[in-house]
Structure 1
Amino acid sequence: MKYLTPGPVQLPKQVVEAIARQPPFHRTEEFAEVFREVIEKLMSIYSATPVIIPGTGTLAVDVMVHNYVDPGDNVIVVVGGEFGERLVEAVEARGGVVHKIEWSYGEAPPPDVLEDMIKKVGEVRAVAVVHNETSTGTTNRFIERYQDIAESHGATLLVDSVSIFPAEVFKKKVDVIATASQKAFISPPGAAILYLSKEPTAKMPVPPSMNLKKFLQFLKKWETPYTPPINVVYGLNAALDYILGMGIEKYHEIHRERAEYLYSGVRLEPIAKKPFRSYTVTAFYTERAREVIAELKKHGYVIAGGMGKLRDRLIRIGVMGEISFEDLRTVVEVVNSYVD
């Protein structure tokens, strides 16, 4: 079975081999050296401080919010799908006061909308936004402009980039990025990854397992305060060699080419408008989602259905991981056989 899902994704052989080992004790020079390699490779992809915490993308987002938001803070959250709503839940769980910018599925609010909302709210502690809305296959490509606006108003920009980073990387500094191992990092689930361009600012205590200040202290000696996801780190190390060996620009390009192949070949309407179409997770409207998913499974492929109110109204096809254009051709043919 091959997985063309939003994640976990189809792993390269060398990543699978890397995780199939007896985990060493994490307080050894052996593991510290591997951990150092991973951190340095992560930094070579994006120039910010990477932190690895046991968990997946949801935890990465929760950690981000808890370390930069205090109860009572005004937080603007951009919502355009299921994961935008989850971002709202994360802020509310921390006690932040949410001010939503709700936007049409398949698009993203222009920067001036954010500027106007900040002026309307007044004192804003943070702006939280999903970079790639996994539920609709929509990428917000205004993030760097949001950063400029947030910074000009003294707010921190918090970005959920779980389902796209590093298949699409920012060229400028972004305050905080939350991502994870099991999607475009082509590794197994288990490592929540954060990139920090700004020190944690929360004054209220943060649970020890989520305390970024503690993780940053241990990072100085290539360690983590608690047991890390050891085998996932080994897998991530192999995956980073794969990505960097290809070159990050080529890595971006191959995802774009795969996605464009689906957008041009599938005879269904994508949810995302053209400027906002994701290059990692494609999403198409269809009333025959369950049939398409079942038929593809017979051909050896697993894709995803919709989420929330779109559960039975769309299919989602991921293009991350070890997949070929032959795989994509088969998927396109099967999907199109269900188009009237």
Structure 2
Amino acid sequence: MKYLTPGPVQLPEAVIKAIARQPHFHRTDEFREIFREVLDKLTKITYGTPIIAPGTGTFAVDMMVYNYVNPGENVAVLVYGEFSERLAESLESRGAKVHRIKWDIGDVPPPDIVEDLCKRIPNITAIAMVHNETSTGVTNRYIDKIQNVADSIGAVLLIDSVSALPAEPIRCRVDVVATASQKAFLAPPGAAILFISREPRSNNHVPPSMALRKYLKMLSRNETPYTPPINVIYGLTVSLNYILSIGIERYHEIHRERAEILYKGIELEPIPRKYIVRSYTVTAFYTDRSKEIISELKRYGYVIAGGMGEIRDRSIRIGVMGDITVDDLNKVVEVVNRVVNR
């Protein structure tokens, strides 16, 4: 089977070989050197200090929330899908007063409206948003403008980029970004990754496993406060070498080209309403034949995903990350259209 899912993705063989080994003891010089190299490579992905903790994307998002928001604080959350709603729920679990800026499925709120609504929230301390809404295949490419809004009102910007970075680059300084290893980073699940450009600001209790200050304190020794995801880090050494060898912009372009094959070829309506918000990592389409399409693709050796949330039963999602080819994508187009036109 080949996985064209939102993640975990189809791993390159070189990554699979890298992770299939006896893990080092993480307090040795040998592992510290491997960890240092991975951290150094991550600094070339986007702005900010990289942090690696054991966990997946959800843990990375929760870690971001608990270190930058205190109970009782006012936080604006841009909501346009299932994962942005989960971000809001994470903030509510922290005890924040969440102000949802809800937008229609298939689009994102314009920055000027975000600015206007955020300025109406008293004592706002943070704005939170999802970079790539995995449930609908919608990408918010207004990060630089939203960061400007946050700066103008003295708020911190928190970004869930779990299914975007580094295939969808972040080209500006952002306060905090949460992501993970198992999607566009081409590694297995297990590494929660953060990029931070501001010191943690929470003065309330943070669970020890999430405490960013502990991780920052250990960085100078190329260590983590607790056992890191050792074998995932082995995989990241290989996948990051590949990504950086072709360059971030070319890596982005490869994903755009792959996604365009599906957008142009599949005879279904994309969920993203406008070209500018179409995801280049997770494509999503409306269909009332999702179960048939998923089943037929499986017969041909391809695994895709069904919908989520309120459009669960009337949509499909096809990821274009991982070790896949143009031939794979063309075959997917052929099979999907055959089902659609029966």
Amino acid at match of 1:316: R
Find the counterpart in structure 1 of residue 281 from structure 2.
280
1:245 CA displacement: 1.4
Question: What is the distance in 2 between the residues matched to 1:113 and 1:158?
Answer: 18
Alignment of 1:146-157 (within 5 A): 146-157=146-157
Query: Match for residue 338 of structure 1?
Result: 339
| Worse overlay, 241-250 or 283-292 | 241-250
Q: Tell me what 1:63 maps to.
A: 63
Counterpart for residue 324 of structure 1: 325
Q: Structure 1 stretch 220-229 or stretch 113-122: which is displaced more?
A: 113-122
Residue 144 of structure 2 is matched in structure 1 by: 144
For 1:103-114, what aligned pairs fall within 5 Å after superposition? 103-114=103-114
How do 1:217-236 residues align onto structure 2 when only pairs under 5 Å count? 217-236=217-236
What's the CA shift for 1:309?
A: 1.6
Q: Aligned-residue CA RMSD in angstroms?
A: 0.7
Q: What residue in structure 2 maps to residue 164 of structure 1?
A: 164
Query: Within 5 Å, which residues of 2 pair with 1:171-182?
Result: 171-182=171-182
Aligned residue identity for 1:235 = G
Partner of 1:292 in structure 2? 293
Shift of 1:119: 1.6
Q: TM-score, normalised by structure 2?
A: 0.99
Q: 1:46 is matched with which residue?
A: 46
Using the TM superposition, give the Cα deviation of residue 86 of structure 1 relative to its aligned residue in structure 2, in angstroms.
0.2
Q: In 1, Cα distance between the equivalents of 2:89 and 2:294? A: 30
Q: Deviations over 1:246-272 (max 9, x none)?
A: 211110110000001110000000000
Q: Deviations over 1:48-96 (max 9, x none)?
A: 1000010000000000000000000000000000001100110000000
Corresponding residue number in structure 2 for 1:303: 304
Q: How far off is 1:171 after superposition?
A: 1.4
Alignment match, 1:212: 212
Alignment pair present for 1:83 and 2:117: no
Which whole-Å CA distance do the structure 2 matches of 1:326 and 1:292 have between them? 18
* Contact persistence 2:47–2:172 (CA under 8 A): no
How many Å apart are 1:196 and its aligned residue?
A: 0.3
Q: Distance in 1 between matches of 2:217 and 2:261?
A: 45
Q: Does 1:72 align with 2:103?
A: no
Is the 2:72–2:96 contact (alpha carbons within 8 Å) kept by the matching residues of 1? Answer: yes
Amino acid across the alignment from 2:321: M
**What are structure 1's unaligned runs of at least 5 residues?**
none
User: Post-superposition shift, 1:122?
Assistant: 2.0
Q: Which residue pairs with 2:132 in the alignment?
A: 132
Distance, in Å, in 2 between the alignment partners of 1:231 and 1:144 is 34
Q: Where does residue 240 of structure 1 map in the other structure?
A: 240
* Matched position secondary structure for 1:129: strand
**What amino acid is the match of 1:270?**
P
Q: Deviations over 1:206-254 (max 9, x none)?
A: 0000000000001111000000000000001111011111211110110
Counterpart contact for 2:47–2:174, Cα < 8 Å:
no
Identity rate, percent: 64
The CA deviation string for residues 110-159 of structure 1, in whole angstroms up to 9 with x for no partner, is: 11111111221121010000000000000011111000010110000000
What residue is the counterpart of 1:263 in the other structure? 263
Aligned-partner residue type, residue 64 of structure 1: M
Task: Report how many residues are paired.
Answer: 340
Cα distance in 2 for residues equivalent to 1:143 and 1:248: 17
SS of the equivalent of 2:335 reads helix
Cα distance in structure 2, aligned partners of 1:298 and 1:261: 21
Distance 1:9 1:207 in 2: 30
**Matched residue of 1:184: which SS?**
coil
Determine the C-alpha separation between the residues in 1 that align with 2:249 and 2:192. Answer: 24
Instruction: Output the CA distance in 1 between the equivalents of 2:318 and 2:278.
Output: 13
Amino acid of the residue matched to residue 313 of structure 1? R
- The letter of the residue matching 2:318 is I
* Matched position secondary structure for 1:242: helix
Tell me the distance in 1 between the aligned counterparts of 2:297 and 2:55: 30
Residue deviations 1:28-65 (CA, integer Å, cap 9, x gap): 00100000000000001113100001000000000000
Instruction: Pick which of 42-51 and 280-289 moved more.
Output: 42-51
The one-letter amino acid of 1:315's match is I
Query: Which residue identity does 1:56 align to in structure 2?
Result: T
- Which aligned pairs between 1:88-103 and structure 2 lie closer than 5 A? 88-103=88-103
Q: Which amino acid aligns with 2:230?
A: I
1:324 CA drift (Å): 0.2
| Cα displacement (A) at 1:335 | 0.3
TM-score, structure 1 length as denominator?
0.99
